[in-house]
Amino acid sequence: MIKNARSFLQGALALLAAGAIFPVLAQPVPTTVDRPVTISYYNYNLASAGNGAEATKRLIAQFEAANPNIKVEPVGASSFELTSRVQADVAAGRIPDVVQLVFSDLAFGVDNLGVAALEDIVPEDERKAHFAGMSPNGLKLGMMNGKTYGLAYTFSTPVLFYNADLFKAAGLDPDNPPKTWAEVKTAALAITRKTKAAGIATGIFGPSAGDWLFQGVLRSNNGSLLTQDRKTLSFAEPASVEAVAMLRDLYESGAYTNLEIDAAMEGMAAGNIGMYLQTSAIQGFLIRGAQGKFDLRASTMPRFGEKPQRPNNSGSALVILSRDQLKRRAAWELMKFMTSKEAYTVITSQIGYLPLRTDIVDDPRYLGDWVKKHPLIKPNLEQLAMLEPWVSFPGPNYRQIQKMMMEGAEMAVFGGMKPAEAMKAAQDGAQALMPH
């Protein structure tokens, strides 16, 4: 009993030191890094060879070369595990300096991990100068309660990748890809009947999928997940259930193949799947797989009839947790570099994420020439104008709520349960985990 109490006290003291229980007083960072300092950089792209690890390593090396007083200690973890890793390190008193935090975890980071608001530590003129040229919709993604806690970093929208060669083999027009879910079903069934390939796969379900893509599907049918006051779950409402029922019908018809994310990504890259709805972050991986083998193309996220698609973002924001003022300045310098014009040229062209700096898209010094040669980015850029935030569930049980919702949807789509019953059961169970 005493041992458990001591462990609890030590953890609480570590959290207190991190500013996770009581906020750390706002204090501007120094103007320069005038002596050697090492900062930790928790990054999930580093944990995945197919999702930008090498490009991220090169960017870190370039930053260190340009900032000889700053040494970056990279820490890789998957996007699904990274926040748990940060939470454990904060509790142990090992405060991370810069973290690539997925947007659905931002509220938890602010409320429980002591994420610093940039307005509280970075001079206003510096912030404004760095934010100039950035997408207003992108900047909003990292804001809470009127302050910028996260600077949008790697983010994207759902893209419908498709194999133009399979479209031709199935008698479809590759210059007119499906724009609605009904058209997706028709095209997918034609592909399965006339070729040996699967019709469509998605990144909606799976242990590492999260709920970002699922959210966009519900929202595009005017469904919702949470009431405006963030107190009541709403993913079992009729519009949301209707969207889930569409996915079930797609699967039962034989159009939709149920593959794990890695298998689906590899299958698409190998030319064995007609269409794949997934984040544009895998664009680089698919391009490398398709090169010299088949004509890979991309279109926007499918819509429901005449309702406009309402994609939300996947991806992450960079946040500062450090409490040391010199490390905070170094962290801000790293954050600025990783969201610079030069860095976004690499992030977009070599990984596949959207450039937060839309002013580089047509600039031949940056992405201008690359965009002309790589039309796959165009649907992603088009959807940037209609981007909606990835909703994060409130409270410390946010991950469990998300998991229960996705398990309910999976049972409805693949497990034989009626969509209305599966989503209602999931919502009732998850509501009990909401903050009271």
Q: Give, for all 436 residues of the chain, the pLDDT tens digit.
A: 334 433 433 444 344 444 444 344 467 788 899 999 999 999 988 886 556 888 999 999 999 999 999 999 999 988 778 888 999 999 899 999 999 998 889 989 998 899 999 999 999 999 999 999 998 888 888 898 899 999 989 878 899 999 999 999 999 999 999 999 999 999 999 999 999 999 999 999 987 788 999 999 999 999 999 998 999 999 999 999 999 999 999 999 999 999 998 899 999 999 999 999 998 878 888 998 999 999 999 999 999 999 999 988 778 899 999 999 999 999 999 999 999 999 999 988 888 788 889 889 899 999 999 888 888 888 888 888 788 878 888 888 998 999 999 999 999 999 999 999 999 999 999 999 999 8
Measure Cα distances from 218 to 199, 223, 240 in Å: 22, 5, 5
Question: Token pair for residue 122?
Answer: 């970075």
Beta strands 98-102 and 143-144: pairing type? Answer: unpaired
> Is there a contact between 131 and 297 (Cβ–Cβ < 8 Å)?
no
End-to-end CA distance of the chain: 29
Residue linked to tokens 């590492």 = 208
Q: For residue 315, report the phi and psi dihedrals to the nearest 5 degrees.
A: 100, -155
Nearest Cα neighbor of 60 from 310, 282, 281, 346 is 346
Q: Report if pTM > 0.85.
A: no
Rounded CA-CA distance 341/359 in Å is 9
Residue 309 is given by DSSP the state: P
